[in-house]
Amino acid sequence: GGEVKGEKEKGRGKIERKERTAPPLTVASISLRTVPNPSTHAQEIVSASVVYSLTGLPIDAPAQPNLFQGGQFLRSFSVLRRLDQSSPWPFDLETKVKEINQNTLIRHQNDATFSLLSAPPPPPSLFVPGGAALLAQQPTITLSSSERALLTCFVSKLQVLDPDVLIGHGLGAFDAAVLLSRMQVHNTPLWSRVGRVMKREFPRVGGGGMSGYNNSKSNNSNNNNNNNNNNN
């Protein structure tokens, strides 16, 4: 260790400790729809949807009830693909999707100017700048040509939102494994943006995803054990 001396007493400053409010958390709810591949028996993703809020959730205080009442601050997006690339979209689907996207954008603009009469509006500190507001300006429904395109679009939108917390029904038991497994199969760029740590190697996953990485690792370990037993 060492010591540092100042030339003048007046040059010394004090660091003031101020109590700062913890930043709000951006929460995203994920829902996947999958179908089994008849050849590989692996679950493939046909749609991915996310519901999020324009406001974050406070860490050190209960959330206001009016944050989720009426849906004024809730937004969502969905990415869909064909079940079979050789099959066309259902009749009039693309036209309907355009209408839904336009009507949703108009409704969101009206929600932004709507004043809450039954309860005070959320404090400005809960509105997260950037991500959610930018994503809300994009189309609500996106049609993709393949599972690879679906995953690429899904990750790019999730990157804009930049959520702190991911939630979902059966997310840890099934959806997360399927999502990572299919991203690995298609080598989806920036796949690790699903989490908070930039990674190059996919984690070991199991469950419904039937990850090839996991299977290859387990097969290698079994082969090594058999070789060791034979040597003994």
Q: Does domain 23-170 have CATH number 1.10.3720.10?
A: no
Residue 145 sits at φ, ψ, to 5 deg, of: -85, -20
Pairing of strands 165-167, 27-36: parallel
What is the SS3 assignment for 48?
Answer: strand
The partner residues of 29 in beta bridges, in order of sequence, read 51, 167
User: Which residues in the chain come in under a pLDDT of 70?
Assistant: 1-15, 65-71, 110-130, 205-232
Per-domain residue ranges of the chain = 23-170
Question: What six digits make up the tokens of 45?
Answer: 């993703």
Number of residues assigned to the chain: 232
Q: What is the pLDDT of residue 9?
A: 61
Tokens of 74: 């809730």
pTM over 0.85: no
Residue 3 CB burial class (10 angstroms; 0-12, 13-18, ≥19)? exposed
Contact 214, 206 (CB under 8 A): yes
Q: Please state the φ and ψ torsions of residue 33, each to the nearest 5 degrees.
A: -120, 130
> In the prediction, which pLDDT does 219 show?
40
Cβ pair 209, 45 in contact under 8 A: no
Report pLDDT digits (tens) over 75-131. Answer: 999 999 998 878 889 899 999 999 999 998 888 776 655 444 444 556 666 666 668
